[in-house]
Amino acid sequence: MEQIYFAGGCLWGVQEFMKHLPGVIATEAGRANGTTDTTQSEYDGYAECVMVNFDAKAVTVKQLMVFFFEIIDPYSLNRQGEDVGIKYRTGVYSNNPLHLVQAREYIDSREDKARIVVEVMPLTNYVKSDEEHQDRLSRFPDDYCHIPLDLLHKYKKTHR
């Protein structure tokens, strides 16, 4: 099992989408690359993210990037849908340098690469989000999400 972290705006929707993808074993809502070890501060540099545990024999980082790009606006800086602020930036983080190389290669292979503002960086700090945020849209399916419902569950029927 391998781990990679995706930030794509509000973490509720990103987690709900990612957990249904082929090859994904488990997900956890959290915050990446901030300056504290707590979830108490809203403005400590974190990006809302989802830790994705995946089977590298079943899905590649490139495939995960393709899926991820289905649910984000890769040209929008610090904003996804109605969610605005640095904590809603888009990013891919990992402790595995190969994951970062593969994520950058995917972005560099795109014709629109010059416009993409998705950061690709080593994971320097991770904090698990509070329990109320874990699997939020599974527990409260009518809660707000910036990802359209048909896209949010696009892979749900074909996986699990």
Per-residue pLDDT tens over the stretch 119-143: 999 999 999 988 778 787 777 778 7
Cα-to-chain-centroid distance, residue 5: 6
* Cα–Cα distance for residue pair 20/113, rounded to 1 Å: 27
pLDDT tens track for 13-62: 999 999 999 999 999 999 999 877 766 666 688 999 999 999 999 999 99
CATH number at residue 94: 3.30.1060.10
The answer to whether residue 160 sits within a structural domain is no
In a domain, 158, yes or no: no
Rounded to the nearest 10 degrees, the angle between the axes of helix 61-71 and helix 97-108 is 60
Residue 135, pLDDT score:
81
Give a yes or no: residue 122 inside a domain.
Answer: yes
10 is catalytic: yes
In a domain, 95, yes or no: yes
Predicted confidence at residue 38, as pLDDT, reads 66
69 domain-assigned:
yes
Angstrom CA distances, 109 to 66, 106, 143, stand at 12, 5, 35
Report pLDDT digits (tens) over 73-85.
Answer: 999 999 998 899 9
Query: What is the β-pairing status of strands 47-54 and 2-8?
Result: antiparallel
In a domain, 50, yes or no: yes
Indicate which residue of 4, 7, 10, 11 is catalytic.
Answer: 10
Position of tokens 């610090």? 78
For the chain, what is the domain count? Answer: 1
Give the domain extent around 45: 2-152
